Chain A
Amino acid sequence: MSDSHGVSLRLEACAKTFPGGSRALEPVTLEVARGETVVILGPSGCGKTTLLRIIAGLEAPDAGGAVFFNAVDVTKVPIEQRKVGMVFQSYALFPNMSVAENIGYGLKIRGVARAERTARVEELAKLTGIEGFERRRITQLSGGQRQRVALARAVAVQPSVLLLDEPLTALDAALRERLRGELDRLLRTLEITTIYVTHDQAEAMALGDRIVVMRNGAIAQIGPPREIYFSPQSRFVAEFVGAATILEATIENGTLRLPGGRIKIANGALAGPVTAMVRPEAIGIVPPEHAALCGRVESVSFVGDRQRLVVTGAADRPLVVSVANSIDVKMGERVGLAIEPDAVRLLPGDGR
């Protein structure tokens, strides 16, 4: 769309201490390029919403912190002058206004003439798939429709940055997946700078150009989805983003020594005790006869498209294995495990 759409964003040492003295956010520095979608991912209470509210202007950072839009310091600018678009977890639609009035409210505030406003509302209703509902009241809409109205209202004003606070959390699983797809398409179409807060790693993977993983008010790792998934820099990131088995073992002669055998690792030069991570889908089931690593199947749970096995005896803790639904394995069976050297990710020492 127009090139006034979207700014680059920079946070410098933004910390937040609440009046009670509790520290919600350690000093955070973050840069977001124009048009980029950055997902802030973390468990509840990790400070991700506080970070979003600082960008929005709903919270002021502690002294020393600063927020820049296109290199202009907006730290002291109140939210109503920051030209942000915001979607709240509860949507916060105005119950006293119709769908069209909700979408057009930001335009009305900016003094856009009625005819132009109507045209723009129509365009947005079409874009977000709620055409035909313009005259309805908010109470007459389903959860998914409300979500779309909230989104249409936020982007109607062509904001410099779009801020979404867990926008899909209030919906049921099937709808969430569908809207995630639509949201992704919409964000690509609009090419708008977007900050998206969620605790759902699948949402983060699907939507983010980059993901910021947060923990205890600090950034644990920043990177593109694949990097976060395949090369986590800490045990926390490894376990929070997708399922992972963490192994504590010793490296000898370029292999990881485990109770049930050995795994070859990529970096042969290393030695000594390490912490390693293996993803369940990176482990293959092979006949036990010639396998370098063996174990016993403790449980099999069939979930339709995959089956999840728990294998004991191979490592110091049960190994979770996710395999194709066509493989025939039974409980108590002895199996061999095949793991590619690249799939074993070594984590820094303590990692926590």
Chain B
Amino acid sequence: MRDRLILGSQLLFTSLVAAFLIVPAILSMLAGITVNYFRGIGSGLTFQWVVAVWDLYAETIARSFLIAVATLVVTLLIGVPAAYAFNVRGGRLARTMEEVITLPLAIPGLAIALALLLTYNGFGDFRRSWLFILTGHVVFTLPFMVRAVMAVLSGIDVKTLDESAASLGAGPWRRFRDVIVPNARPGILAGALAVVTLSLGEFNLTWMLHTPLTKTLPVGLADSYASMRLEIASAYTLVFFLMIIPLLVAMQLLADRSGTRS
């Protein structure tokens, strides 16, 4: 009896916390398909705001995905070999480099953005293109990739695996491809998941770096809240959710599958 009471109260508490977090999201999404939010749901449901958002922001959404994918590619190309090198080389230099790469985690996004602006303001074309935002995102997300891959590598004695592949005649590139990457897969997938989500949701840095022609999803959201009807902003949130959640679920499934396989 007492156990059931405890279980019941725990369930109630958890449900309340969950509701506290979820209800605003649901309300916001509902607002996005309501004809007139101030008159309430009674005014009827419509997809006109979603269509309006698509018309207004399709390009922003596409750009956001482009930047997320590009960020992923760059962090993979830099982060995985870097993690491998740090792990195999060890020593003070590797540790220092690792700290330097991790530094952006501790520095506010605004400060990083300011530094990038101060440095590259003179390079007009670069400053105005989406590549400028990509740079910011790479700086911000790289530590997540490096850390995730290093965590997995440190658990499998990668140095000895590397040495044994070398003893069998494999050069550095062959060893990286045949032994390091396949065994670092869970870390690479976890890192990729983090990088894509962070890039898609990044606001602080991007808001500082963007131009009217290089907006991303979150910046567009802020823009719509500031300058459009509430219903459009809410419909934007809905679109945001619809785009991101299937992506996250898919990546999570992929990571789980590779985790159980090895």
Q: Considering only CB atoms, which chain B residue lies closest to A95 in the complex?
A: B183
Chain A min CB distance to B260 (Å): 12
Taking the complex as formed, is A105 at the interface, i.e. its CB lies under 8 A from any CB of chain B? yes
Chain A residues with CB under 8 Å of B156's CB are 95
Taking the complex as formed, is A80 at the interface, i.e. its CB lies under 8 A from any CB of chain B? yes
A90-B157, A95-B156, A109-B174 known; A80 vs B166 contact (CB < 8 Å): yes
Are A19 and B91 neighbours in the complex by a CB distance under 8 Å?
Answer: yes
B163, B170, B183, B262: the one within 8 Å of A88 (CB): B163
Chain B residues with CB under 8 Å of A105's CB are 165, 168, 170, 178
A96-B183, A96-B262 known; A106 vs B168 contact (CB < 8 Å): yes
Chain A min CB distance to B104 (Å): 30
CA distance A85 to B169 in the complex (A): 9
Chain B 158-193 per-residue mask, 1 if CB under 8 angstroms from chain A, else 0: 001101111111110010001100110000000000
- Total B residues in contact with A, Cβ cutoff 8 Å: 20
Chain A residues with CB under 8 Å of B182's CB are 96
Are B164 and A157 neighbours in the complex by a CB distance under 8 Å?
Answer: no
Are B168 and A157 neighbours in the complex by a CB distance under 8 Å?
Answer: yes
Chain B min CB distance to A104 (Å): 10
Chain A min CB distance to B160 (Å): 4
A19, A80, A94, A96: the one within 8 Å of B171 (CB): A80
Residues of chain A in range 55-111 having any CB-CB distance to chain B below 8 Å: 56, 58, 78-81, 83-86, 88, 90, 92-96, 105-106, 109-110
Chain A residues with CB under 8 Å of B170's CB are 80, 105, 109
Are B157 and A153 neighbours in the complex by a CB distance under 8 Å?
Answer: no
A94-B179, A94-B183, A96-B182 known; A106 vs B161 contact (CB < 8 Å): no
Chain B min CB distance to A21 (Å): 14
Chain B residues with CB under 8 Å of A163's CB are 167
Chain B min CB distance to A342 (Å): 45
A56, A90, A110: the one within 8 Å of B167 (CB): A56
Are A79 and B161 neighbours in the complex by a CB distance under 8 Å?
Answer: no
Which of B160, B161, B169, B174 is packed against the most chain A CB atoms within 10 Å? B169
CA distance A112 to B157 in the complex (A): 28
Chain A residues with CB under 8 Å of B178's CB are 94, 105
Which of B156, B161, B164, B178 is packed against the most chain A CB atoms within 10 Å? B164
A95-B183, A96-B182 known; A78 vs B166 contact (CB < 8 Å): yes
CA distance A86 to B166 in the complex (A): 10
Chain A 316-336 per-residue mask, 1 if CB under 8 angstroms from chain B, else 0: 000000000000000000000
Which of A56, A80, A106 is packed against the most chain B CB atoms within 10 Å? A80
Residues of chain B in range 120-177 having any CB-CB distance to chain A below 8 Å: 156-157, 160-161, 163-171, 174
CA distance A136 to B165 in the complex (A): 20
Are A92 and B161 neighbours in the complex by a CB distance under 8 Å?
Answer: yes
Are A58 and B169 neighbours in the complex by a CB distance under 8 Å?
Answer: no
Q: Considering only CB atoms, which chain A residue lies closest to B159 in the complex?
A: A92
Chain A residues with CB under 8 Å of B262's CB are 95-96
Chain B residues with CB under 8 Å of A153's CB are 168
Chain B 249-262 per-residue mask, 1 if CB under 8 angstroms from chain A, else 0: 00000000000001
CA distance A93 to B160 in the complex (A): 9
Are B169 and A80 neighbours in the complex by a CB distance under 8 Å?
Answer: yes
Chain B min CB distance to A162 (Å): 10
Chain A min CB distance to B110 (Å): 40
CA distance A90 to B165 in the complex (A): 14
Chain B residues with CB under 8 Å of A92's CB are 157, 160-161, 163-164
Chain A residues with CB under 8 Å of B183's CB are 94-96
Name 12 extra pairs, CB < 8 A, besides A58-B163, A94-B164.
A79-B166, A79-B167, A80-B167, A81-B169, A85-B167, A88-B160, A88-B164, A92-B163, A94-B178, A105-B168, A105-B178, A153-B168
Chain B interface (Cβ < 8 Å from any Cβ of A): 91, 156-157, 160-161, 163-171, 174, 178-179, 182-183, 262
Chain A interface (Cβ < 8 Å from any Cβ of B): 19, 56, 58, 78-81, 83-86, 88, 90, 92-96, 105-106, 109-110, 153-154, 157, 163
- The 7 tightest CB contacts between A and B, nearest first, are A106-B168, A92-B164, A96-B182, A86-B167, A92-B160, A109-B169, A79-B166
Q: List 16 A-B contacts (CB under 8 A).
A: A58-B163, A58-B167, A80-B169, A80-B171, A85-B167, A88-B160, A94-B165, A94-B179, A105-B178, A106-B169, A109-B170, A153-B168, A154-B167, A154-B168, A157-B168, A163-B167
